[in-house]
Every structure is written in C-alpha cells, then in structure tokens.
Structure 1
Amino acid sequence: MGSARPALVGRSAELEQLRTAARRAAAGRGRAVVIEGGIGLGKTALLGELAAECAALGMRTLHGTAEEVEQRLPFAALSACARPLQGTDEDLARVTAMLRGEHALAYSMNAAHHELAVTEALLELADRWLSRGPVALLLDDAQWADPSSIVVLHRLARGIEQVPLLLATAARALAQGDALEGLERSLLAGGALRLRLEPLPEAATVALAERQLGAPPGPLLRRLLRRSTGNPMYLETVLTAYLRDGLITVAGGHAELSGGAAADPDAVPEPLVDLTRRQAELVPRAYREVLQTAAVFGSTVDVGQLAQVLDRPVMEISEVLVDALDSGMLADHGGTLRFRQGVVRELLARSVPRAVQTALHQRAGRALSGGPGLSERTGAHLLAGGELGPDGVQWLTAHADALTGRAPDLAVKLLRRAVAETGEGAGGPLYAYLVRALLWDGEPAQAEETARAALGGGAGPDTEPDLRWLLVQACYRQGRLPEAVAETERAVASPCTSPGQAARFRGIAAMCLHLLGRAEEAEAAADRAVAEGEAAGDRAAVAIGCLARALGLIGDDMAGSLALTDRGLAELGHGIQPDLQIDPYVMRGVCLLELDRFAEAEEATAIAVRHNQRTGGMFLTTAHAVRAHLRFLQGRWDDALAEVRSGLDGPDPVGHGARLLAFADLIAVHRGDTPGGEFTGPGPAVEGDRYLVDWARCLAAEAQGDAGQAAALLFPRWERAAGPSARRRMYRVGPDLARVLAAAGDTGRLRALADDLDTLAAAHGTAGLTGCAALCRAAADGTAEPALAAVTAFQEAGWPLYEAYAHEAAALAAAAAGDAAAARERLARALDLYARLDAGWDAARARSRLREAGVRAGVRGPRGRPKHGWEALTDTERVVADLVAQGMSNPDVAAQLYLSRRTVQSHVSSILAKLALTSRVELAVAAAQRSTQG
C-alpha cells in the first residue's frame, strides 16, 4: 500500500479483493463487483485503483461515471464509459452512431425497438471484444445510471463466469433507484463480489492524516480526527482547510493543532458544518466561475464547451483546468477530464444559485445549438434552461427528428414547450414533429390526439399526408384497426395525397382488413395498391401491396405467398420500413418451412433474426419460434431448445413466447422429461399458437397413460379450426392426434381426421403433409401400405421423428397381419431413429405397443447419446465448440452457422455444462488437448 493515495489508506483488504477479481477475469473467468458506501468513503478511489490494475493486466478498460443530469438519456452511462475509447475501434464507431440515434427513425418502429437494437449491438460489440481479450467495465456513481444502461449491464452479467469480463459498479448506499437495486440483486444472486465500505477505524484515520501531513498527529489533532467519523473525504477536507488557515503546525516530529483550533479541539470543524461553502472557498475566486460552470454541466469537463458558454479563450479555460488537475480536483481518465470526486462536483454545483444554474443551461443550449453531433446534450441544456427563445425553437425545428431518435422523452418535452412559446396553430410543422416524437416514445394515444388536433387545425399540403400516415400508425398500434382503415380512406380521398402516397395507404389498409378477417376487401385493396403503385412509379407502394397480398395467401397458397413476399422484398430494395407492421423476412421463412424447403428456411430465418436484432424489430421472438419449429422437425432438438432460450431472452410484443414454450414442452415429453422444467410461462398464447399449447398438453396426457384425456385436449382445437387454411397451419398434430384417438377407441373421429388430411394433401401436396395424411390413414385403416408410404414421404421431407412414427405404425400393421419378422425390422428402425433423437418416451411407447401385439425388440436396443462429455455434444455444438476454441466471437460464429448471437451463447452454455467446464478459455484448452490426444 505504499504507493496508494491517501483515500485508500485502510482499504487494503478491499483493494486486494478487487485485484483478485481482476486477475481472475483476465484469466478467463469473469466476475461482477458491487461497491457500496456513503459519500466520501473512497468508492471512486477504489474504482480508480481497480482501473489501473486492469490496465496493467492488459485488459481493455472502460471506465466512466454516470451523470445525474443524463438519467433521461438512453445509454448515457455506458456512453460515458466508452467515450475514452472512441476513435480507436471500428466496431465501436458503428455502435456510437446508433447511440447518437443516426438513422433511427428509418430503421426502427419506436424508441423501445431502437433501444432493443442498440442493446443487441452493444452486446455484440462486447462479444467481439471478449473474443479478442479481457475487458473491464467500471461504472462510478451508478445510482445515476439510466435504465437502458442498466438493462445492458444485466445482460452482460448473464454467464459472466464464462468470459474474461470484469463488471464493477460503485454507488452510494442511499439514493439508489429501482433499476440499480434490481441490477445489484441480480449480480449478487449470480455470485458477485460485494464490498460495503464502512467508515475507517481510528488507526486508519491516524495513518491517513500522517500520510497527508507528513508527520504523526499529536493528541489534540487526534481528538479532532475522531470528529471526522472515519470519512476519508471529510478528513482530507478538514486537514486541507486547517493547513491553509494555519491551524496545524508540524514541530518536534508531530503535527498538532494550533491557534484557535488548539484552544477548542472538541469543536465540530467548520468544514463539516458547511462543506458546500468550504469546497467553493477552496477554489480561487478567479477560477471559481469556470469550475462551478463545469460542475453544473456534469462530471466530465469539456474545454470547448466551457469556452463557448463562458465566451472566454480556450487557452484561458485550459490554464484553469491544468491548475485544477495539479490540485487534484480534476483527474485525467484516458484523455477525458473529470472531477476526481463526484461529491466535490455536486457541492460546487450546489454552491451556484438555482436561478444561475438555469441561466447557465440556457446559455449553454444557445451557445451549442450550432455545433454538430450534440443534439441530446444541447436539448438537455435547453430543457434545463427554461424558455427556449427564437434560437432554441429554430434549433429544435432543425434537429427534431435526430433528437427524437436519440432521446424521445426529451424531444416531446421540448416540442411541447416550443408549441406553447410560439403559439403555433395546430396545423403547424412543430405539431408533425411532436406527433412523430410521441409515437416514437411509445405514446400512440397521445400521438393520435395530437395528430387529430393538427389535422383539424388546418395542416398544410406538405404536412397533411405525413400527419395522416402517423395517425394511421397511431390507431394501428392501439389495436384499433377499423379506425386505421377509416383514416386510410380519408387519406386517399384528400387532395393533398399524391397517387403514390394513396397507393401506400391502400396497402396498409389491406393489411388491416386482412387482420380483421375481411379477406375479399383485403385482397382488392392489396391488388389496387400494387396497380396504383406501379402506375405512380412508387416501389414502396408496390412492395406494401405485394406483402399485404402475401399475408392473405399464407395457409392457402404458400408458394404464391412466397413469390409475392420475394417481390415485395425486391421492390423495397433499400430496406424494410419500420412502420410496415409485418416482417417479410419472417413471412419468407414461414413459407419455406411450410414448403419443406428446410435449407432455404434456415437461411431466411437467420436473416429474419439478424434484421430484427439490428432494428429492434417486434418480430424477433417470432423469428426464433419459426427456427425452433424448423429444428424440431429436423430432429435437432438441442438446437431447437437453444432457439427457445434465445427467443425468451427479451421482450415479446407479439406474444409468441407461448409458441416457444410449447416446442420446449413437446421436446421434454418426447425425451421423457417433465414439461416446463427449465422454462417459465410468458403468459397466455395468442389465438394462432393455442393449438401448439394444446398439442404439448395432449402428449403430456398420453405420456401419463390417459389417451381419452389427450384426445379431448387436442381434437376440439382441430374441429374448431376455421376452414382448410387454419388446418393447413396445424396439420402436423395429425399423427399424434390419430394415435391417441386410436388408443381411445374413437374410430369415428379418427376417420374424420384422416379424411380431412387426405383433402389437405390433395390440395397442398408437400412431402410432409402427404406423409401426415398417409400416417393418419394407416392409423384409421390399420394397414401397412399407407404407413410405408409415410416412411418414404417423411424421408423426403427430412422429418426423422415422423419417419420413426411411420416405422412404428408399419410395425404394428405387420404384427396385426402376422408378419413378426417385418414387425421386428420396422420396430428396430423406429427405435434407432428414436435413439438418435434421444426420444426415450417414444421408444418406450413403441416397445410397449409392439409387446402388446406379440412382438419384442432385441435384448440390446440402440443407445441414446450420453449426457456428459464430448460425445454428448450435438453436431451443432461440436462445430460451435471448435469455432469458439479457435477464438471466434459469438457474432462471428453466428454469421458462419446461420445462427443468432444469443443462440450461439445458449450453445456455449450447454457445451460448458456437458463438458463440466466454466469458461471459454477452459474450453479452448480442453479442445486443444483433445485434438493432441486424437
């Protein structure tokens, strides 16, 4: 501790724990650290020492301070940590552009979706960095962290022990918000190191005073030290003030009180009575205005900003800051100047009267309004500065969209203030900006109210179409589809709407009409949108019309829907509009899945996942659900479960989480496990997913030996399915439903089911559907021929579970016909497929059914995959393990394997669990050793 700063005297144990955590993270096993304590107890100093240790260990170190004034700015705390590294990394530059909200309105639907996109980008950046070496993320004054940054910290902490990451937060024990408290609970539950700083004991305060004064304190001074309550910052403040005022002298090898202080050593030191005033007095009067202004603006000190606001030369400002550095009030963190102690900054700021603070913010807002790339900071100053004035309104008008993309809450407040100050009529341009900001901020009801007021106030021809488009979106996002359709009709009838714009409105109307079940009207509107879009040369209108028409064909004509979806994507060209309300990439994946074109479906759904991650799209869960369905049919069940985990790891605005859980439950039943063991329910299923939930419940009931209950759970869902289109979507339940109906002796419903599937197969003859129809017919008739036809169809489709079903059915038919040899052969094939799938329940069921028919399997059946060790890894996990061992990041692995970053992380966690390893570093070592031994 000989080189430690005074504030770290008495903190050797805490410092050693931090150094140990840093060394562990640098070696590959990450750690989270939570530092708590009152004002002035040394949190900032400890974090500074930890940053130095991390840098010495070669860790990429991000060290920043959260600002109270920036709590409304999304990702402000993380931006502060990354700021010293800007300009050093191309990946960071891309994420920084997203943080500034560049092009946000063009890619995302609203602020929540944009924040999801930024969150994914930050996590992907972290993955890339962690694949290259250890990283330390240190956040001071975390009690002021914005909620978006807290969310990212939550996500980074998941599985932190697997990666070389040190995540440390320092916060006051009091004044913590709910978000930070939730983060700390999560970190501590995950095994984080918790350091609670208590006041220093008397021996430590004596040592600290000796270090500062250069001599041990005498008896009177020791009595004074006891009044410091063991607070290092208070103690340093008192000693500095007493030295300055000549109240401490050093003589005879000791430091002792003198003058008035010696006359009354038990008096409470004045610096502790009025610390704010004393801190301000520590600053020379000539420098006070500069440092007080800097303190009002936050912990980070910007020389150029201060020069602009104070209208003083940069060199003059720089001289003040150099002296502040020399005095220890400021510190240089990687080229960024910051107040060394957050509390010192607060005290300096509070020494400025509130009215003066407001005037400073107003002055800063006006001075900075002409600068590039400062929209959110300029807006924050303008908001804190009260009245905008003409210059502020002009700046806001020019930067409204950029500000909305970065800080929508701030944009809404400023636009409301601008409208009030200018007295602008409801039809003015500020109202259009305000409607967009409200919609982006997730307030569709207020956006609708404001848009209607603006349109009623006489919006001009340049703004009316935009306002009407925003009004349609506001109605749609509230689920008020009839009102959305009515507004599209008004927009089309308006003389202000161009032919191309009218065609776009018709396309949106077609989507709404389809969702309302008005199929014929939807088809007519979509066709008209395409025709009018073509006539107007408006490719976006043509695309919207094609996609609306494709939406209506799903279930009836999958090939036609795919063709229209592909045309819509080609017409959009530049990218998907955020207000399109559907995801053509997901639609394309669904079409290809339903057409049994699995290789293409895999690529299409990978694109859908990446698109939704990049834009914060609302269909990310849906894309993962389609991929889980694909993996389930392919028999890649561990991969399907990885998609389930990825899909559940985030918000689910569309409500498809239940679909993911249904596939997890189906896999659990097939494997003989308990449904719902790993996952918790996200809530009720949407209408289109309820059959999946009932399917899983049906299999669970069958596994419990209650075929009648199983049939009662699922067959009513099939009966209620409205028409061939709905049954086309759920036909894969047919073989399971046929089996339980047969077991329950319900031959009437079984034959009706077989007839329904025959009709579907005749109309939509894909291999998978043809196989399902044949298998149901085999169950209804008890003959081998349709079962053998099903085997061929499922082999063509690539559905191993269903192929095993067909072999099982063929075995039963052969046994009934008295051909025991053929029955044993078919049973062996079924059991071999079940073993490859690890479908233990299916294997047991097949043996039981054939045993009842007088056929027994061989004594030694095929063995399933081991649960632990390298042989337990799936094909995908082996590939992932190899790529991770080569040092590839999760995003790079994801791009190579058509997976998402989240899914790769799920695979990595599964790999480590199966191999009994704890980190990616250990995985690399184990893979290298295995390669050498092999």
Structure 2
Amino acid sequence: MSPVTAAAVLVGRDNELALLDGLLREAARGRGAAVLIEGEPGIGKSALVHAAVTAAPDAGCQVFWGAGDELGTALPLLPFLDALQVREPSVNARRNTIVGLLRGEIAADRGADVPATLAEQLLALVAEESAVRPVVLVIDDLQWADPASVTLWGRLARTARQAPLLLIGTARPVPHRDDLLALHRLAGDDGRIQLTGLAEPAVADLVAVLAGGRPDGSLLRLAEGAAGNPLYLTELVAALMRGSNLTLTPAGTAALADGTGLGGQPGSSGSGSIPGSLSAVIADRLGFVTGPVRDVLRAAALLGVDFEISDLAIVLGRGLPDLLPAVDEARVAGVLAESGSSLGFRHPMIRAALYEEMPAAVRAAWHRDAARALA
C-alpha cells in the first residue's frame, strides 16, 4: 500500500466547503465577503481553503495566496506582497510603484512612513485587480503575519462586501495577539469558521482513504487517540504503513498487523502506543506553545491523559495561581481541555509525544520525584 498525502484528502467538511463555495460564487457576482477560519494546528484549515478555491477559475475568479511566516514577522506586509505577486519585472504600473517604494527608488509622501504607503498601494492594487476579475485573496497563517499585514487584512475585511472580493484568512488560536483578537471580533460569528475535530464517521472515512481499505475495530481504536485531527490521523496511518504495521485483508479491510502496539502507555487510558516517527511529528507541531507552557505540559504528561490541576501544582512545586496562565494558554491552543472536574489532553497522542520526547532516565527520575511529592 502506498500512503495518500493529507493534501489529497478532505473529508468531513462538507458544510464548511459549501459555505465557502457559496461565498465564492457571490463574490463572482460582485458581492464580496471576508471570512476568518480558525483552528488548532493540523485541523485542516489550509486543506479546506485549497479545496474551496479549486472552483474559483470556473466561477470566473482569480486567486491570490500568501501566508504568514514565523521567521518573516519583521518584514512588513510580506504575506500581501507575496500573494499579490509584487515582483520585478512587471507590466503592471501599480506593482512597479510598489517595487520602487520597497527599493527606495520612490519616496513616500511627506509625513507618511513606507509601510503605510505600501499598505495604501496594496489596497489600490486589490481594487484594480477586482475591477478586472473577481478576486479570491487568501492570507494563510495570520498568527505569524506582521502587524501591518493583520491591519491591512482588517481594512480589506471592512470593505469586502462592496467589491467582488472574497477575503479569506486562517489562524491558529495561539500565540495570543491583540490585533488578531480584534480581527476575531471584526469577523463576528457570521464571518468565522471554527474547525474542530472530525466526527467518528469522518475519521473512519479518512482512515479508509489513507489506508486503502475500511479500518477494523483495532485500527479505529488506535485512531481515537488523534481526537479527530486530520494531520495526526494522516501521520499515524503513514507511520503504520512505513513500519509495515497495516495489512489489507482480501475483503478490503485495513487491519493492524499482529503485535502492533495497542498495549498503551502509562496513563494513556488504553489509547495505544504510537509509532516513534509520529511522536516526533506531533512534538514538532507543539513548537507553537511557549517554553514555560511546554514545561508544564511535560509534567502533566507524567500524570496521564487526565489529571488533577492540584496534583500538577504539587509535582511542579508551584501554587495554583502561578499555573493558571500556562494552563489557560494550553486550553486556548487546544492541547488541554476540561474533563469533568479535572483537566486532560485533548489528544492522547499529544500526551504520548510529550511523554516520549523526554529521555527514559529523566522520565523515571521525575516519576519517582512526583510520587514522593504526591505521597
């Protein structure tokens, strides 16, 4: 079996896809809109938008796509410059003007700084492009965009309804930024799509496509640990395939090979062990949480999928008020969630990845210290 890439699969998002398709066709008729798509890493924001904009050419729309970059936040308006293809040489006079401003060959108006002048030029460029053909403008990963780009997205959102422009932004819930919270409020409930984990039938459908056959019960139980996150499901199936841990029966059922780890890990509630390569992928995806929050999450991983915050405070030797900012950030990021009167990891796979990234000797020593503190 050969793995299917995540970009080739979109399941369980029919309602969201229909909404975006409707907005695209309205923009093609001259009635624009702005929509902000939010969700945790790997939940499928970019995949949803890619699927939606494939219909743009048939609807008579042109598509411009840019993205925020964690390493490019110091460069004003870079996502819009990339999206609107401001490069040289160009036959477009507006683009040449913008290039001249960037290179210092054209001076900004008296009293105006270059980013402000660039923003006005980019607004004019969007208007000009929209006048030629309806525009779909996507700015992906707004959480990494520079402040000037976030401000410009907001300005376009306020006027999108008056032009043949569908403005789409995607963002993670963290890092916390006041300007992104302002965009969240600007979009309102009608202008936001909140992507959550896939429902059980969609999980089964996605695993079936990825594995090449309908999953059996053991494979579905292992997949439960991903809590409906399409990226984690995709990486899980790919890792199982690489390790020859999946078999396809003559009846077309995808099943775990005999001996594939379902024994669980300490505190995993039977969710099953996960391949090491998947742990590395998930650990890398957790890079968006700050260092202090990650330290708290590692300690929580020692306590299991579900844990008491009072126990976490004891293990860390810290007071509850001191822990609240880290816990709140982890909840907003979708890593932790309330579990009755306790807290828990939303994805057992995240808990397992945090647990496994610690050296075994460190885990053992920390378990002993934690046991003594709790005793």
Instruction: Tell me which interval the TM-score lies in, with the shorter structure as reference length.
Output: 0.5 to 0.7
8 Å CA contact 1:51, 1:138 repeated in 2: no
Is 1:268 the counterpart of 2:273 in the alignment?
yes
Partner of 1:894: none
Q: What residue identity is the alignment partner of 2:258?
A: G
Partner of 2:168: 168
Could you tell me the TM-score, scaled by structure 1's length? 0.28
Instruction: Output one character per residue of 1:240-293: Cα deviation in whole Å (capped at 9) or x when no partner.
Output: 0110101111013211001331663742313453326799xxxxxxxxxxxxxx
Partner of 2:198: 200
- Separation in 1, partners of 2:87, 2:62: 9
Is 1:100 the counterpart of 2:99 in the alignment?
no
8 Å CA contact 2:101, 2:114 repeated in 1: no
- Separation in 1, partners of 2:88, 2:64: 11
State the shift of 1:107 in Å: 4.0
Partner of 1:249: 247
State the shift of 1:51 in Å: 2.5
8 Å CA contact 1:157, 1:167 repeated in 2: yes
1:119-518 alignment runs, 5 A limit: 119-188=119-188, 193-252=191-250, 253-261=252-260, 264=263, 266-270=271-275, 271-275=277-281
- Separation in 2, partners of 1:203, 1:6: 19
Question: 28-37 vs 265-274, which deviates more?
Answer: 265-274
- Separation in 1, partners of 2:47, 2:101: 29
- Separation in 2, partners of 1:170, 1:200: 18
8 Å CA contact 1:31, 1:192 repeated in 2: no
Residues 130, 263 of structure 1: CA spacing in aligned structure 2 closer, same or farther, 3 A cutoff?
closer
Structure 1 or 2: larger strand share? Answer: 2
8 Å CA contact 1:34, 1:192 repeated in 2: no
Q: What residue identity is the alignment partner of 1:32?
A: A
Instruction: Output one character per residue of 1:456-506: Cα deviation in whole Å (capped at 9) or x when no partner.
Output: xxxxxxxxxxxxxxxxxxxxxxxxxxxxxxxxxxxxxxxxxxxxxxxxxxx
Partner of 1:114: 114
Residues 237, 92 of structure 1: CA spacing in aligned structure 2 closer, same or farther, 3 A cutoff?
farther
Instruction: Output one character per residue of 1:649-703: Cα deviation in whole Å (capped at 9) or x when no partner.
Output: xxxxxxxxxxxxxxxxxxxxxxxxxxxxxxxxxxxxxxxxxxxxxxxxxxxxxxx
Q: What residue identity is the alignment partner of 2:43?
A: L
State the shift of 1:68 in Å: 1.0
Is 1:36 the counterpart of 2:35 in the alignment?
no
State the shift of 1:152 in Å: 1.9
Q: What residue identity is the alignment partner of 1:264?
A: G
- Separation in 1, partners of 2:88, 2:98: 8
Q: What residue identity is the alignment partner of 1:250?
A: L
Residues 206, 113 of structure 1: CA spacing in aligned structure 2 closer, same or farther, 3 A cutoff?
same
- Separation in 2, partners of 1:184, 1:99: 31
- Separation in 1, partners of 2:93, 2:179: 28
1:539-558 alignment runs, 5 A limit: none
The list of structure 1 runs, each at least 4 consecutive aligned residues, that deviate by more than 6 angstroms after superposition, is: none
Residue 74 of structure 2 is aligned with which of 72, 75, 82? 72
Pick the structure with greater CA Rg: 1
- Separation in 1, partners of 2:115, 2:70: 20
Is 1:81 the counterpart of 2:83 in the alignment?
yes
Instruction: Output one character per residue of 1:862-886: Cα deviation in whole Å (capped at 9) or x when no partner.
Output: xxxxxxxxxxxxxxxxxxxxxxxxx
8 Å CA contact 1:218, 1:255 repeated in 2: yes
Q: What residue identity is the alignment partner of 2:184?
A: E
1:818-829 alignment runs, 5 A limit: none
Q: What residue identity is the alignment partner of 1:261?
A: T
- Separation in 1, partners of 2:283, 2:116: 44
1:662-677 alignment runs, 5 A limit: none
8 Å CA contact 1:65, 1:140 repeated in 2: yes
8 Å CA contact 1:37, 1:197 repeated in 2: yes
8 Å CA contact 1:35, 1:171 repeated in 2: yes
- Separation in 1, partners of 2:62, 2:242: 41
1:389-788 alignment runs, 5 A limit: none
State the shift of 1:85 in Å: 7.8
Residues 95, 170 of structure 1: CA spacing in aligned structure 2 closer, same or farther, 3 A cutoff?
farther
Could you tell me the TM-score, scaled by structure 2's length? 0.67
Give the RMSD, CA atoms, in angstroms.
2.6
Residues 65, 129 of structure 1: CA spacing in aligned structure 2 closer, same or farther, 3 A cutoff?
same
8 Å CA contact 1:30, 1:162 repeated in 2: yes
State the shift of 1:92 in Å: 4.3
- Separation in 2, partners of 1:9, 1:92: 40
Q: Classify the secondary structure of the residue corresponding to 1:125.
A: helix
Q: What residue identity is the alignment partner of 1:202?
A: E
Gaps of 5+ in 1: 280-350, 352-934
- Separation in 2, partners of 1:17, 1:98: 39
State the shift of 1:123 in Å: 1.6
- Separation in 1, partners of 2:101, 2:244: 51
Instruction: Output one character per residue of 1:347-391: Cα deviation in whole Å (capped at 9) or x when no partner.
Output: xxxx9xxxxxxxxxxxxxxxxxxxxxxxxxxxxxxxxxxxxxxxx
8 Å CA contact 2:101, 2:108 repeated in 1: no
Instruction: Output one character per residue of 1:590-649: Cα deviation in whole Å (capped at 9) or x when no partner.
Output: xxxxxxxxxxxxxxxxxxxxxxxxxxxxxxxxxxxxxxxxxxxxxxxxxxxxxxxxxxxx
- Separation in 1, partners of 2:82, 2:92: 18
Partner of 1:54: 56
Structure 1 or 2: larger helix share? Answer: 1
Name which structure has the greater RCO, CA cutoff 8 Å, separation 6+: 2
- Separation in 1, partners of 2:103, 2:29: 36
Residues 226, 277 of structure 1: CA spacing in aligned structure 2 closer, same or farther, 3 A cutoff?
closer
Q: What residue identity is the alignment partner of 1:245?
A: G
State the shift of 1:187 in Å: 2.8
Q: Classify the secondary structure of the residue corresponding to 2:55.
A: helix
8 Å CA contact 1:37, 1:43 repeated in 2: yes
- Separation in 2, partners of 1:71, 1:65: 11
Residues 254, 85 of structure 1: CA spacing in aligned structure 2 closer, same or farther, 3 A cutoff?
farther
State the shift of 1:103 in Å: 2.5
